[in-house]
Amino acid sequence: METTTSTTKGYRPMEYASEEGRLKIFGFWIFLGAEIVLFSTLFATYFVLVNQTAGGPSGKELFEIKIFAMETFLLLTSSFTCGLAVLAMRKQSKRGYFGWMGVTLLLGLGFLILEIEEFAMLVEMNAGPTRSAFLSAFFTLVGTHGIHVTLGIAWVTGVMIQVWKRGFTPVTSRKIFMTGLYWHFLDVVWIFLFSTIYLLGVA
Amino acid sequence: MEQHHSAKPHIVGYLFSLILTVLAFYVMLYTSMPMSWKITILLVLAVLQLLVQLFYFMHILEGDGAYQVINVVFGIFVAVTIVAGSIWIMLYNTMLE
């Protein structure tokens, strides 16, 4: 593809400029591969236990289409704005980077707030993680994703502070690119969550 | 150079994701197809969305492109084995009951 030839033929964005940068980005891809496997075990547990409701409520009674549709839209859009932030970094536009990354963080926070409200509502309805095997698996899977989003927000904020202080260097550019990869990956996991947990749950 | 600095792939990727998401919601909530069809379509749409993220947003082909693709494909292989294998084993685990 176009992109590969242009990187091998001399031109490289700053995050790929040093060998260290290239290796760390590749290392991050390996980490994401391990994350895929981590989430697959939680998905497997959920699918095995999905019908074990112990006389309690099932997904059909609990999941609210409005809430998870909103969550999906927020996270999907944040993945897009995060991509624009990385693009702004490549164009050396600080304003663009801080603007789009700021929007990404706000959308991520909005997603988290919706998820926390949903969890609180479920616990209030006596449908917390201790209610049934189905709900234990649900809270573990969706909660693990939620923790990843929380960590992502903290990491992105930290990198933003570094960029504020040091500007775009090969090191900060690499970090920006890696936070971008991580954030897109969170949306990848959510795609499978909203499809196979929520949509399949209410259908 | 063009590829690295253009917002076009991002906008195209976002539009694709939105369309695929709306399709997934529509198929699952507003059609009356058999469940097995719905699940198949849902999985196909999810995999397409995964590809959109990898190629349009994550630029998987940049850097060590080939190795990154091999690594992600291997991750997906293990994931599918774990998920499909677990469901298969537990579904046919009727001897215990």
ipTM of predicted complex? 0.90
**Whether the predicted pLDDT of A124 surpasses 70:** yes
Q: Are residues B8 and B37 in the same domain?
A: yes
Residue B53 is nearest to which of A1, A35, A184, comparing CB atoms? A184
In which domain, by residue range, is A114 found? 15-202
Q: Are residues B4 and B34 in the same domain?
A: yes
Please state the domain count of chain B: 2
pLDDT 10s digits, B42-74: 999 999 999 999 999 998 888 878 999 999 999
For residue B6, the model assigns a pLDDT of 84
Residue A48, chain B, CB below 8 Å: the answer is yes
How far is A46 from chain B, CA to nearest CA, in Å? 9
CATH code, A69: 1.20.120.80
In which domain, by residue range, is B16 found? 1-59
**Contact list, B10 vs chain A (CB under 8 Å):** 80, 83-84, 87
The 10 Å Cβ neighbour count of residue A23 is: 12
How far is A191 from chain B, CA to nearest CA, in Å? 6
Q: Are residues B48 and B67 in the same domain?
A: no
DSSP A181-202: HHHHHHHHHHHHHIIIIIIHHH
Q: Are residues B55 and B72 in the same domain?
A: no
**Whether the predicted pLDDT of A8 surpasses 70:** no
Give A120 or A2, the one with higher predicted confidence. A120
Mutation pick from B59, B74, B77, B94 vs chain A, by most beta carbons of A within 10 Å, is: B59
For residue B94, the model assigns a pLDDT of 63
Q: Are residues B15 and B51 in the same domain?
A: yes
Domain presence at residue A5 = no
Q: Are residues B15 and B32 in the same domain?
A: yes
Domain presence at residue A1 = no
pLDDT 10s digits, A30-55: 999 999 999 999 999 999 999 999 99
Q: Are residues B48 and B81 in the same domain?
A: no
